[in-house]
Amino acid sequence: MSEYYRGGFLEDTWVYINDDAPVPETGNVIVSLTRWRAGGACFSDLQGQVGVFVEPDDVFHEHTDRLSKLSLVSLSFPKFSDGRGYSQARMLREQLGFEGEIRGRGEILLDQIPLMMRCGIDAFEVCHEPTIAALKSEALPGIMHTYQSPVNDRFGRLRRWRGQIQG
């Protein structure tokens, strides 16, 4: 993937590295959570940032996963109807204090993106052509009035029951 969506389409500098491939010396890499946990020298020599890709049934370990050392977490949405990533994102933001990029990958469709953003996901690998076209030509279809505090508000400890997303 050369482009991803984060407010607009940007060039993607991150590379996914499978568990059986070596970690390169330079560049931003996304590895599996297992590999990150195994850790070791391969990351200390890296000239670049590290991210992890996780599966919907992965659970973060607050004390041992060294999330503050990660710049990116990539959440999987194998099907748009699989909503586990929404919970994972909120837990990352609100309970684990993760402030790096959270991106969604998999079946990412136009109407889900605003919901994902409200859970703290801020970047999207979009493959679905009509979604790409829509994102390039018009504003997000989301709803500006929300009954729940968005995740960013929770960061700021700004209690707001009914809010309006700033457009």
Partner 1 sequence: MYRYDEFDQAFVEERCRQFRDQVERRLKGDISEDQFKPLRLQNGLYLQLHAYMLRVAVPYGVLSARQLRKLGEIARRFDRGFGHFTTRQNIQFNWIKLEEAPDILDELARVGMHAIQTSGNCIRNTTTDPFAGVAIDEIEDPRVWAEIIRQWSTIHPEFLFLPRKFKIAITGAAEDRAAIAFHDIGIRIVMGKEGRSEFSIYVGGGQGRTPVVASLIRPFLKKEQLLSYLEAILRVYNLHGRRDNLYKSRIKILVKALGIEEFKRQVDEEWEKLDKPSIDLPIEEYERIAAYFEPVNLQAAPIQNEQVTAREKADPAFAAFKRNNVFAHRVPGHVSVAIALKEPGKIPGDASADQMDAVAELAERFGHDEIRVTYSQNLVLPNIALSDLVAVYDGLVAAGLCSANFELISDIIACPGLDYCNLANARAIPIAQDIAKRFGEQKKAEDIGPLRFNISGCINACGHHHSGNIGILGVDKKGTEHYQITLGGSPGDDASIGSILGPSFPAEDLPEAIETIVAIYLEKRENPKESFLATYRRIGKEPFKDALYNPNALNSGGQSDALEEV
Give the footprint of partner 1 on this chain (CB under 8 A).
80-84, 86-88, 90-91, 94-95, 109, 111-112, 114-116, 118-119, 130, 134, 141-149, 153-154, 157, 159, 161-162
Name the token pair of 19.
């568990």
Place of tokens 């837990």: 91
Closer of 23 and 33 to partner 1 (Cβ)? 33
- Which is nearer to partner 1, 38 or 144 (by Cβ)? 144
Beta-strand ranges (E) seen in 33-137 are 50-54, 72-77, 101-106, 123-124
Nearer to partner 1 among residue 63 and residue 145 (C-beta): 145
Alpha-carbon separation of residue 93 from 77, 89, 96, 153 (angstroms): 18, 6, 6, 11
Considering the complex, state which of residue 14 and residue 98 has its C-beta at the smaller distance from partner 1.
98
**Least CB distance to partner 1 at residue 81 (A):** 5
Strands 101-106 and 123-124: parallel
- Rounded CA gap, 57 and 62, in Å? 16
Shortest gap between Cβ of 26 and partner 1 (angstroms)? Answer: 36
